[in-house]
Amino acid sequence: MSIQPGTHLLGPGNATLSVLTERTGAAAKAGHDLVLHVTSWGAKLVVGEDPADMSIELAADATSLRVVEAVGGVQALGDDDRANIHQTIDDEVLRRQDIEFRSTQVQADPGAGRIRAEGDLTLAGRTQPIAFDVDIGDDGALSATAVVTQTAWGMKPYSALFGALKVKDDVKVVLDGQL
């Protein structure tokens, strides 16, 4: 892995930012595991002349999450279902508050093609520390996965059917792109 010094920008034009949810509970078979894409976002990776001098920032519009895939469930999701999911995320989960990440420490492991990022993630108006790895291929392909525990940010995971169907507290946030 060799990242050129400078500012590298990522967004919907050269990368995908996804949120993956899974269902749980006695009625889990009735629900869907979802893949949502964040459609309005941008990230900046700044690499200094010294590879140890790096920073990462990301900002996302919390109202731009859209269901792109739904697995499982008794029946397929329709347009009304997708609209209801979008409304629930906006009104009850993220509460229309933008998402931000700012690194506090970034360490490169050039031999492994990996960056370890630590920083502050702001979700639903609350800021908490988070850490994740970013894998970078020789061709500039970039991939990162972070696990976000909703309750750590004061969010209540979605539930229905008197709690018999729930979204798991841990959701995965995946970024795939090209530098």
Q: How many domains does the chain have?
A: 1
Q: Does residue 81 belong to any structural domain of this protein?
A: yes
Q: Does residue 148 belong to any structural domain of this protein?
A: yes
Range of the structural domain that residue 81 is part of = 6-178
Q: Does residue 1 belong to any structural domain of this protein?
A: no
* 117-172 confidence digits (pLDDT tens): 999 999 999 999 999 999 988 888 999 999 999 999 999 888 888 877 888 999 99
**Is the whole-model pTM more than 0.85?**
yes
* 13-66 confidence digits (pLDDT tens): 999 999 999 998 887 888 889 999 999 999 999 988 876 789 999 999 999 999
Find the DSSP H helices in 23-149. Answer: 79-88
In whole angstroms, what separates CA 28 from the centre of its chain?
23
The CATH number of residue 99's host domain is 2.40.128.110
